[in-house]
Each structure stands twice: as structure tokens, then as C-alpha cells.
């Protein structure tokens, strides 16, 4: 979907959303580990680290879907075999 | 045995092997996203034990389908209209989920007096499997050639995506039960995936339809 090819501070544009997705899921993992380590209850009326981990996971999944896996795959291909969207 | 060990060593010690591993990890992380949201959406209306079962069915189905589709990628790529059919199938799953969300028990229209029967494990599993068929098909066609020469990297990636799908789907199902409105956001994301598949599938089918119509019409 994202056909723009603008490098952001040297980072290839097609990889921005997949990278954001990986970062969000990693952050979710950190919150989940923290919640597990501190023994926080999963069901609570207040916002818990589990909720934050779940929200970050949801956002990470959404970013992954919007990012389009084709761009990630193409970016790992040799330069000469790439098609337009992943030339960044 | 020696060959397996040699492949593991090649993957972990050579730049090409490490690059393939990194590629597969990133691709699998990205691919697990849509499956996790669909499984989380379908499992959210179930009680805890059934939810765990639904998630297990979902990740098993997604894994099996990815292996089967990966084995037949060349044949699948030759079938025109497969992407369109997958998109329509996913759209149907979206419609079923939309109707479930609109039920009174799910925070829908409170004017409905009669309570509908609770969602069954069978219904959730059916939705998950159909969505998995559509999305695994799309994903496998996209990653057809990725890291084929490094089976260790592929197996590691598959294992990682199974764990990630299970954990993410469980988190998302819990989140949707607590904050039901987020389910509409999840549904919108899956609807986007379905529409994208239909659009790309239609673009693929269009020349064939145009050629057929040109030949059929006088």
C-alpha cells in the first residue's frame, strides 16, 4: 500500500512500519515480563502492565499489517532484483 | 544428522546465514500480526478454557496451512483468482464478526431484549480456520522465495511465529474483553486486509475477464 520511497534520516521508508512493529512487540514483551515478574493480576479494574503489553501488541500487529510484508522481503533481496516499492 | 548440524552451524556462523535468519525473524514477526488479530477477535467472546483451545486451534491451523501452502507455492501461483477468492472469504469472516459484535451481549444494540446464545468454540474455530486459509495463502505467496536455502532459519522462524501468534492472540483477546470497542478497530484492520486482497486479486483477474468478454461479445 505505501508506495512512497522517502528515506527518513537514512532509514529506508518501506522498512519504517515493520521496524515500528518489531519495536512495539519488543516493548510489549518487556511490559509482559515486568507484569509477570511483579506478579500483577491479569484481571483488574485499573490499567495494569498486562493491559499495556496487550495494547502494544495490538498496535504492533496493526503496524505489521499496514507495513506490507512484500516490502520487507524485497528489501532483503539483492539490489538489482528489487522492484519499485523496496528500492529505498 | 551431520547435515542438520552443518546447516545450523552455517546459519549461525556465516554472514549469509545470519542475514537469512534476521530476514526470516522480521518476516515472521510481520506475518504473525494479522493472524494474531483474527484469532484474538474470534476468541474474545469465549470463556477462558475455550479461548485457550480456540487459540491453539488457530495457531495449529495457521502453521499447517503455511507449511502446506509453502510446499505448493509454484502450483498456487499458477491459479488465477486465488487471491480474489481469499479476499472474499476474509470479507465474509469480517461480516460474521461484525454481526457478533453487534449482538446485545457484545455491547451492541441494547434495545434487543432476547439474549442470543453465547458464541461456541466451533463457531470461533471455523472463523479462525477460514481466516487462516485466506491470510496464510496471501502470506505464503508473498514469501515464496525467502531463505529457502537455509532450512534452519525457516524452521526457527516458523517456531517463533507460532509462539508469537499464541501470545499475541491471548493478549489481544484479553484486551478486547476488557475494552470491547477495540474489537471494532481490529475488525477494521482485518477489513483492510480483505479489501487489499480483493483489490490485488481483481487487478490480477481483470485482464482475463476483459479477454473473455471481448471474445464472447460480438
User: CA nearest B172: which of B94, B58, B89?
Assistant: B58
Give the A window 25-64 contacts with B, CB below 8 Å: 25, 28, 32, 42, 50-51, 53-55, 57-58, 60-64
**Taking all residues of chain B, what is their mean pLDDT, rounded to a whole number?**
78
Distance of CA B112 to the CA centre of its chain: 33
The set of cell numbers assigned to B36 is: 494474531
DSSP state string for B141-190 = HHTTTTTTT-HHHHHHHHHHHHHHHHHHHHHHHHHHHHSTTHHHHHHHHH
Q: What is the pLDDT of residue B113?
A: 44
B168 touches chain A (CB under 8 A): yes
Gap between the Cα atoms of A32 and A51, Å rounded: 9
Query: Residue A8 forms beta bridges with which residues?
Result: A11
Q: Are the beta carbons of B146 and A73 separated by less than 8 Å?
A: yes
Q: Are the beta carbons of B36 and A69 separated by less than 8 Å?
A: no
pTM beyond 0.90: the answer is no
Give the three-class secondary structure for A44: coil
**pLDDT per position as a tens digit, B117-138:** 567 888 888 888 888 888 777 7
B36 touches chain A (CB under 8 A): yes
Gap between the Cα atoms of B49 and B57, Å rounded: 13
Q: Which residues contact B113 (CB under 8 A, 6 or more apart)?
A: none
- What ipTM, to 2 d.p.? 0.74
Residues in B closer than 8 angstroms to A46, CB to CB, are: none
* pLDDT at residue A20 tops 50: yes
Q: How far is CA B20 from CA A1, B10, B83, B123, B189, in A?
A: 25, 11, 27, 38, 29
Interface test with A, best of B17, B30, B183 (most A CBs within 10 A): B30
B18 touches chain A (CB under 8 A): no
A18, A32, A53 ranked by CB distance to B30: nearest: A18
**pLDDT per position as a tens digit, B136-154:** 777 666 665 555 566 676 6
Mean predicted confidence (pLDDT) in A59-68: 84
User: CA nearest A48: which of A60, A64, A62, A32?
Assistant: A32
Gap between the Cα atoms of B200 and B181, Å rounded: 30
**pLDDT per position as a tens digit, B80-125:** 888 899 889 889 889 988 888 887 655 444 444 455 556 788 888 8
Q: Are the beta carbons of B32 and A61 separated by less than 8 Å?
A: yes
Gap between the Cα atoms of A58 and A30, Å rounded: 15
Residues in A closer than 8 angstroms to B168, CB to CB, are: 25, 57, 60-61
B32, B142, B189 ranked by CB distance to A73: nearest: B142
Query: Residue B129 forms beta bridges with which residues?
Result: none
Amino acid at each position: 500500500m505505501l508506495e512512497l520511497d522517502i528515506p527518513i534520516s537514512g532509514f529506508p521508508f518501506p522498512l519504517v512500519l515493520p521496524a515500528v512493529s518489531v519495536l512495539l512487540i519488543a516493548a510489549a514483551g518487556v511490559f509482559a515480563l515486568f507484569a509477570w515478574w511483579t506478579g500483577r493480576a491479569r484481571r483488574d479494574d485499573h490499567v495494569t502492565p498486562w493491559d499495556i503489553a496487550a495494547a502494544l501488541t495490538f498496535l504492533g500487529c496493526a503496524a505489521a499489517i499496514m507495513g506490507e510484508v512484500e516490502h520487507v522481503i524485497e528489501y532483503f533481496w539483492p539490489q538489482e532484483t528489487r522492484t519499485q516499492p523496496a528500492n529505498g | 544428522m551431520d547435515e542438520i548440524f552443518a546447516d545450523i552451524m552455517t546459519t549461525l556462523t556465516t554472514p549469509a546465514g545470519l542475514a537469512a535468519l534476521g530476514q526470516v525473524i522480521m518476516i515472521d514477526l510481520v506475518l504473525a500480526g494479522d493472524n494474531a488479530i483474527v484469532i484474538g477477535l474470534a476468541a474474545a467472546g469465549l470463556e477462558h478454557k475455550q479461548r485457550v483451545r480456540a487459540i491453539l486451534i488457530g495457531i495449529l491451523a495457521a502453521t499447517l496451512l503455511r507449511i502446506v501452502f509453502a510446499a505448493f507455492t509454484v502450483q498456487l501461483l499458477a491459479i488465477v483468482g486465488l487471491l480474489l477468492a481469499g479476499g472474499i472469504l476474509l470479507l465474509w469472516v469480517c461480516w460474521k464478526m461484525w454481526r457478533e459484535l453487534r449482538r446485545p451481549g457484545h455491547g451492541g444494540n441494547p434495545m434487543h431484549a432476547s439474549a442470543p446464545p453465547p458464541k461456541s468454540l466451533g463457531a470461533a474455530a471455523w472463523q479462525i480456520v477460514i481466516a487462516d486459509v485466506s491470510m496464510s495463502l496471501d502470506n505464503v505467496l508473498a514469501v515464496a522465495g525467502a531463505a529457502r536455502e537455509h532450512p534452519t532459519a525457516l524452521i526457527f522462524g516458523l517456531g517463533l511465529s507460532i509462539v508469537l501468534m499464541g501470545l499475541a492472540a491471548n493478549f489481544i483477546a484479553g484486551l478486547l474483553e476488557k475494552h470491547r470497542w477495540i474489537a471494532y478497530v481490529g475488525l477494521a484492520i482485518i477489513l483492510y486486509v480483505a479489501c487489499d486482497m480483493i483489490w490485488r486479486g481483481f487487478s490480477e483477474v481483470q485482464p482475463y475477464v476483459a479477454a473473455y468478454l471481448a471474445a464472447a461479445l460480438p
